[in-house]
Amino acid sequence: MIPSATEGSNVGRGTLASNGESMASSKEFRDYVLEQLAELKVTSRPMMGEYLLYKDGVYFGGVCDDRLLVKIVKENAGYDMQQQLPYEGAKPMYLVEDLDDKEKLVQIVLDTCRGLTNKK
């Protein structure tokens, strides 16, 4: 089950500070995503309170405000994912909502990476 940073919060929407501003992603959420993607040997790098995700050195997405976001490529367009911004002013990315479906999650990441490496 996806960990929630605070009881009653909207999982995948991030933790809110008392002033209503979004806070950094939780290590527990990042760890859950990495656990679900363990067979792909995905790695993460911290970046300004969030986490960038890599497979075989390819940056494919990140954990932002306790949401898993992947880059938009034509190879992952068929998954009917919502576009969201990782942060204000950024390029849109796809939100991966069903993190409990490990098989689908792995396929989304593989298709995303395939699309990114085909661009080169």
The full set of domains in the chain, from first to last, is 27-119 (3.30.1460.30)
Q: How many CB atoms lie within 10 A of CB 109?
A: 24
For the chain, the distance separating the N- and C-terminal CA atoms, rounded to the nearest angstrom, is 36
Q: Give CA separation, 27 vs 41, 75, 82, in Å.
A: 17, 29, 24
**Distance separating alpha carbons of residues 5 and 81, to the nearest angstrom:** 23
**What pLDDT tens digit does each residue of the chain (120 aa) get?**
655 443 333 334 444 444 445 568 999 999 999 999 999 999 999 999 999 999 999 999 999 999 999 999 999 999 999 999 998 999 999 999 999 999 999 999 999 999 999 875
* The pLDDT of residue 24: 85
Q: What are the backbone angles phi and psi of residue 64, rounded to the nearest 5°? A: -130, 125
Q: How many residues does the chain have?
A: 120
